[in-house]
A and B are shown apart, each in its own frame.
Chain A
Amino acid sequence: MNFGVVFILLGAALAAALPGIGSAKGTGLVGQAAAGVVAEDPAKFGKVLILEVLPGTQGLYGFLTAILLLSNTGIMGGTAPEYTWWQGLCYFAACLPIILVGLWSALAQAKAAAAGVSLVAKNPEQSGKAIIFAAMVETYAVLALLVSLLTIMNIGNLF
Chain B
Amino acid sequence: MRDTEYTFAVARIRSNENRLLTSQELNSVITAPTYKEAVSRLNEKGYNITDTDYSPALSKRMKEFWQVINEVLPDKSQFDSIILKNDFANLKIIEKAFILGKDTDGLYEYPSVYSPEELKECVFSRKNSLLPECLQHADRSAYRILSKTGFAQLADSVTDRASMEWSIKTAKNGDNPILLKLAEIETACADIKVLYRCILTGKAVSFMERAVAECSAFSKKDIIAAAAKGLEEFLEFLSHTEYKGAADAVKVSTTEFERWCDNKKISVLADTKTEVFGIAPIVAFYYAAQTEIRNIRIILSAKLNGLTEETIRARVRESYV
Chain A residues engaging chain B, CB cutoff 8 angstroms? 29, 32-37, 39-41, 111, 114-115, 117-118, 121-122
Contact = CB atoms under 8 A, between A and B. Distances in A.
B158 interface: no
B12 interface: yes
Interface of B: 4, 7-18, 72, 276-277
Contacts of A37: 11-12, 14-15
B14 A122 contact: yes
Closest 6 CB pairs of A and B: A36-B11, A40-B15, A121-B14, A36-B12, A33-B11, A32-B7
B9 to A, nearest CB: 7
Contacts of B14: 36-37, 118, 121-122
Nearest to B16: A40
- With a 10 A CB-CB cut-off, give which of B11, B15, B18, B277 has the most chain A CB atoms: B11
B45 to A, nearest CB: 16
A36 B8 contact: yes
A56 to B, nearest CB: 16
A40 B16 CA distance: 8
Contacts of B11: 32-37, 114, 117-118, 121
Nearest to B11: A36
B12 A40 contact: yes
5 contacts: A29-B4, A37-B15, A40-B15, A118-B10, A118-B11
Given A41-B15, A118-B10, 5 more contacts: A36-B7, A36-B8, A36-B12, A121-B17, A122-B18
A111 B4 CA distance: 9
A41 B12 CA distance: 9
Contacts of B18: 121-122
A33 B15 contact: no
A35 B4 CA distance: 14
A34 B11 CA distance: 7
Nearest to A36: B11
Contact of A36 (B4, B9, B17): B9
- With a 10 A CB-CB cut-off, give which of B4, B7, B12 has the most chain A CB atoms: B7
B72 A114 contact: no
B273 to A, nearest CB: 10
Contacts of A122: 14-15, 17-18
Contacts of B15: 36-37, 39-41, 121-122
A117 B9 CA distance: 12
B8 A114 contact: no
Contact of A29 (B7, B13, B16, B17): B7
Contacts of B13: 36
B8 A33 contact: yes
A86 B15 CA distance: 55
A128 to B, nearest CB: 18
A40 B13 CA distance: 9
B17 A33 contact: no
Contacts of A111: 276-277
A35 B8 contact: yes
- With a 10 A CB-CB cut-off, give which of B4, B14, B17 has the most chain A CB atoms: B14
